[in-house]
Amino acid sequence: MSAAMIGMSFLVLGIVLLLGKWIRLMSPTLQTLFIPSSLIGGFLALFLGSEVMGNLISWAGYSGTFLSEGMFPEEMLNVWKALPGIFISIIFATLFLGKKIPGIREVWHIAGPQIAHGQTIAWGQYVFGILATILILSPLYGIDPMAGALIEISFEGGHGTAAGMATTFEELGFAEAADLALGLATVGILFGVVFGIVLLNYGARNGKTQVLKNPSQISLDEKRQTGIIDFDARESAGMITTRPESIEPMSLHFAYVGVAIGIGYMILQILIKIEEATWGQATGMYLLAHIPLFPLAMIGGIILQAFLDRFDVHQTLDRGLMMRIQGLSLDVLITSAIATLSLSVIGNNLMPFVVLATVGIVWNIVAFLFLGPRMMPSYWFERGIGNFGQSMGMTASGLLLMRIADPDNKSPALEGFGYKQLLFEPIVGGGVFTAASVPLIFYLGPTPVLILATFLMLLWGGLGIFYFGRK
């Protein structure tokens, strides 16, 4: 694979992403559903590639012609296939860089109910996903038991986690799970926004919300729907913390990301060596060898941020610039992941795919409507709708639904949601257990993981209902 092809692949990917934005601008329906431009661009590239256009032209009897393999050469698709596994580490490394790391007591006091609710949803996705696999999918369709982890990986983790786990799935002999996970993540985003708006209307109409008083308040202005910021309201993308003649600020922040990923890589290698020298030799189980880098990159980011909080007297790291790096990486990841999605894999496993998607959606809705008011005594709807959006595939979806439910931040939902990530992301939703869940099922079988997930779901659920719910 030549350097020229790698450069051309990024160039074409940028064009595809730009086309996705223009399609969104011209489609009121896509704007109303708040579909990201990266998702639209990814589907456009998927349609123009070998999976759709190439097959249609071949089926029409024109195989061997110019477009019978789609508009993109195989070398370009191979570059795109490699991008999600690279950019997911960048995304996770930036999650906490530039944020002030608060004390655990402060986080627990402000975000405790949302943490308990979010953890209950996440562990429940494992419980019901594994149950569906054991009782239905494996006996009837012969699907690998590792499919039980797909709901949490795809819905709670999103496209980034789904793409980041591709190598792990391939190493453990379940390569088709990567495409199933990406498909489920796409379903999660689409249905997350649709059902989120439905739930907002239900809450406002039935007096469940404390901020919204009637359904007519459920709206965003036209500029927010189109994704365009008024000229007079535009702000800087970030603080310039260094003079460009010394080092370009974006270069410095990119270097910080590299340091965070490097710390995560060293931690992972140390853990692998410890495993090889201890329980690995004794039991033959090498769990850590199959864990991808991205959850450790997040740990590296937390360590680096803690170091900078103490020793960086010049405060050279800016959260705004770090968010721009994270946003760029997420757009590249989603577009390239959808563009290289294998529709044939989903078609060959259609019923397992439908069952897992249905189970995940139903559990998320039940957990929001039934557990939310019992675990969050104040502003349960505003707090819970953010957890619901995140549990369907994207933190951005949760933030969007919270902004609609509480446009003026009258509730503690947004602050609690931000603090919640500190005790949530390192574990599930792309955290260490998310990465370890598939190797655990592979080596131990689904039943022990089911027992552990059930225990933790009940533990967090009980904490939310009987401790926070009674406050």
pLDDT tens digits along 130-148? 999 999 999 999 999 999 9
Of 121-125, 159-163, 393-397, 460-464, which range is least confident?
393-397
Please give the backbone phi and psi of residue 403, each rounded to the nearest 5 degrees, phi first.
-65, -35
pLDDT of residue 182: 92
pLDDT of residue 297: 92
80 Ramachandran zone, left/alpha/beta (phi>0; psi -120 to 50): alpha
pLDDT of residue 36: 82
Nearest by Cα to 218 from 189, 196, 188:
196
pLDDT of residue 109: 83
pLDDT of residue 190: 84
**166, 294 contact by CB (below 8 A):** no
Query: What gap in Å lies between CA 302 and CA 267, rounded to an integer?
Result: 13
Segment 459-469 shows an average pLDDT of 93
pLDDT of residue 226: 66
Query: What gap in Å lies between CA 424 and CA 183, rounded to an integer?
Result: 24
pLDDT tens digits along 38-69? 889 999 999 998 888 877 787 777 676 667 67
pLDDT of residue 126: 97
Segment 430-452 shows an average pLDDT of 93
Query: What gap in Å lies between CA 87 and CA 333, rounded to an integer?
Result: 6
Segment 380-394 shows an average pLDDT of 88
**468, 113 contact by CB (below 8 A):** yes
Whole-number mean pLDDT of the chain? 87
pLDDT of 196 > 90? The answer is no
Query: What gap in Å lies between CA 160 and CA 332, rounded to an integer?
Result: 10
Query: What gap in Å lies between CA 226 and CA 390, rounded to an integer?
Result: 22
Instruction: Parse the chain into domains and list their residue ranges.
Output: 1-72
The token pair that represents 181 in the structure block = 């996970």
Segment 440-456 shows an average pLDDT of 96
Please give the backbone phi and psi of residue 248, each rounded to the nearest 5 degrees, phi first.
-60, 130
pLDDT tens digits along 324-333? 998 899 899 8
List CB contacts of 325: < 8 A, sequence separation 6 or more.
90, 94, 250, 253, 254, 257
**411, 123 contact by CB (below 8 A):** no
Query: What gap in Å lies between CA 405 and CA 37, rounded to an integer?
Result: 23
Q: Which residue has the higher pLDDT, 282 or 451?
A: 451
List CB contacts of 134: < 8 A, sequence separation 6 or more.
145, 148, 446, 447, 450
Query: What gap in Å lies between CA 338 and CA 192, rounded to an integer?
Result: 18
Of 106-120, 236-250, 424-438, which range is least confident?
236-250
pLDDT of 215 > 60? The answer is no
Of 190-199, 204-213, 219-228, which range is least confident?
219-228
Query: What gap in Å lies between CA 109 and CA 309, rounded to an integer?
Result: 22
Query: What gap in Å lies between CA 14 and CA 21, rounded to an integer?
Result: 11
pLDDT of 74 > 90? The answer is no
DSSP-derived secondary structure for 124-172: HHHHHHHHHIIIIIHHHH---GGGGGHHIIIIITHHHHHHHTHHHHHHT
**196, 208 contact by CB (below 8 A):** no
Counting residues of the chain whose pLDDT is more than 70, the rounded percentage is 93
Confidence at 222, pLDDT banded by 50, 70, 90: low
Q: Which residue has the higher pLDDT, 286 or 158?
A: 158
The token pair that represents 388 in the structure block = 């619901």
Confidence at 212, pLDDT banded by 50, 70, 90: low
Nearest by Cα to 95 from 243, 250, 264:
264
pLDDT tens digits along 250-303? 999 999 999 999 999 999 999 999 988 887 777 777 788 888 898 899 999 999
**Helix, strand or coil, per DSSP, at residue 3:** helix
DSSP 53: I
DSSP 290: G
Q: How many CA atoms lie within 13 A of 403 on its CB side?
A: 13
pLDDT of residue 219: 57
DSSP 319: H
pTM here is 0.86
pLDDT of residue 19: 95
Crossing angle of the two packed helices 319-339 and 177-205, in degrees rounded to 10: 120
Query: What gap in Å lies between CA 216 and CA 48, rounded to an integer?
Result: 40
The token pair that represents 274 in the structure block = 């410890």
pLDDT of residue 131: 97
List CB contacts of 11: < 8 A, sequence separation 6 or more.
none
Of 3-7, 277-281, 433-437, which range is least confident?
277-281
pLDDT of 471 > 80? The answer is no
pLDDT of residue 256: 96
The token pair that represents 6 in the structure block = 């790698």
